[in-house]
Structures are given as structure tokens and as C-alpha cells.
């Protein structure tokens, strides 16, 4: 049974990441699917947009922004004993802290715990939340769109997330 689990985990990883295009060499690491490397098989990009007030206030306060990605999936029958309190397999987290300015944010996918992939069946999922880094306040200062969906969809093209000060009462959107 353990051999089947190992083969299944390897197949899931390769199926999601794509087929290796060749060995590493002088040209760099081997490529795994479009825009990925063997070292970073699950990257995706976000485009952050800030309201004028958010950009001004955060800039004046020397504040930064955190983009937090949490990876998860549904358990295999064998993996159900490893599921969390909401019945999912947690696959790890990754946080990136960036200046409080509009722009692109690259998430490497390095937060995925590869050993846990053997317990996942179906699509890998990602939940992305954006908040202030709390450098100038103990409270979060911004409200942003968020992502909760298939990692394959999120990684297929950059997703735009809008942010505004909480007091601006911006209506957030669930993406991808």
C-alpha cells in the first residue's frame, strides 16, 4: 500500500506541475510546465491595486503589505485521518511582504509541503489574503479582494486584487 501512495504522490505532483522538459545544465534548472522550475513548481502572480487614499496613508505611515497564500486540498480516502477541522488537507503557507504600492507580486509556491501531496485528491487549492503588515498599527488597515480557488486557475494568469483603507468601505470580490 505504501508503494501505491508514493507512486500516487509522485503522479499528482507531476500531473499538476507538468512534465520535466529535460535535465538541468548550463542553461539553468530543468523546466517544469510553463513558467515553473523544478525548485519552484507552483508559482503564480498577483497584481495589487491600491486606492489613492490607501496608497497615501500607508506610504505616510511607512506601512507595508503582506500577501498570504495558504494551500490546501481535499483528502484521499487514506488521507482523511490527516484532514484538519474543516475536512481539508493543509499543504502549507507562504507570505510575501511588499511595499505599500501598486504592482506585481510573485508567489513562488515554495510554501507547499510536498510530503502532504500524497493525502490530496483532486485539484490543489489556494486561499490568498492581503493585509497591512502592522508596522505602524496593531490593526489591519486595509480591505482587499481575496482568492479562494484552484491553484491551476490562479497560476494560469495574473489575478488583480484591489485594496482600500477599511474606512473606505470598498466591497471586496472573491476571485480567481
pLDDT, tens digit, for every residue of 141-171?
999 999 999 999 999 999 999 999 999 999 9
Assess if residue 6 is contained within a domain.
Answer: yes
What is the pLDDT, as a whole number, of residue 42?
86
The chain-wide mean pLDDT, for the chain, equals 82
What is the pLDDT, as a whole number, of residue 171?
97
Assess if residue 68 is contained within a domain.
Answer: yes
Assess if residue 95 is contained within a domain.
Answer: yes
pLDDT tens across 106-140, in order? Answer: 999 988 998 999 999 999 999 999 999 999 999 99
Domain count of the fold of the chain: 1
In the predicted model, is pLDDT for residue 105 greater than 90? yes
What average pLDDT does range 8-25 have in this prediction? 35
Cα 98 to Cα 16: distance, rounded to the nearest angstrom: 28
Assess if residue 23 is contained within a domain.
Answer: no
Assess if residue 90 is contained within a domain.
Answer: yes
Enumerate residues 6+ apart whose C-beta is below 8 A from 171.
Answer: none
What is the pLDDT, as a whole number, of residue 121?
95
Assess if residue 26 is contained within a domain.
Answer: no
CB 174 within 8 A of CB 148: yes
Assess if residue 126 is contained within a domain.
Answer: yes
Assess if residue 24 is contained within a domain.
Answer: no
CB 152 within 8 A of CB 161: no
Question: Residue 140 is part of which domain span?
Answer: 2-17+31-175
Amino acid at each position: 500500500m505504501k508503494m501505491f501512495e508514493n507512486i500516487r504522490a509522485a503522479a499528482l505532483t507531476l500531473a499538476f506541475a507538468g512534465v520535466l522538459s529535460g535535465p538541468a545544465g548550463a542553461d539553468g534548472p530543468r523546466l517544469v510546465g510553463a513558467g515553473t522550475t523544478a525548485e519552484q513548481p507552483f508559482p503564480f502572480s498577483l497584481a495589487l491595486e491600491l486606492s489613492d487614499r490607501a496608497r497615501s496613508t500607508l506610504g505616510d505611515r511607512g506601512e507595508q503589505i503582506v500577501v498570504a497564500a495558504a494551500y490546501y486540498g481535499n483528502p484521499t480516502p487514506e488521507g482523511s485521518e490527516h484532514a484538519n477541522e474543516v475536512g481539508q488537507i493543509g499543504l502549507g503557507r507562504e507570505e510575501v511582504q511588499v511595499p505599500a504600492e501598486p504592482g506585481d507580486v510573485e508567489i513562488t509556491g515554495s510554501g507547499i509541503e510536498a510530503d502532504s501531496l500524497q493525502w490530496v485528491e483532486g485539484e490543489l487549492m489556494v486561499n490568498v489574503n492581503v493585509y497591512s503588515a502592522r508596522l505602524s498599527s496593531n490593526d489591519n488597515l486595509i480591505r482587499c479582494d481575496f482568492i479562494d480557488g484552484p491553484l491551476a486557475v490562479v497560476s494560469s494568469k495574473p489575478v488583480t486584487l484591489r485594496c482600500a483603507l477599511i474606512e473606505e468601505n470598498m466591497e471586496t470580490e472573491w476571485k480567481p
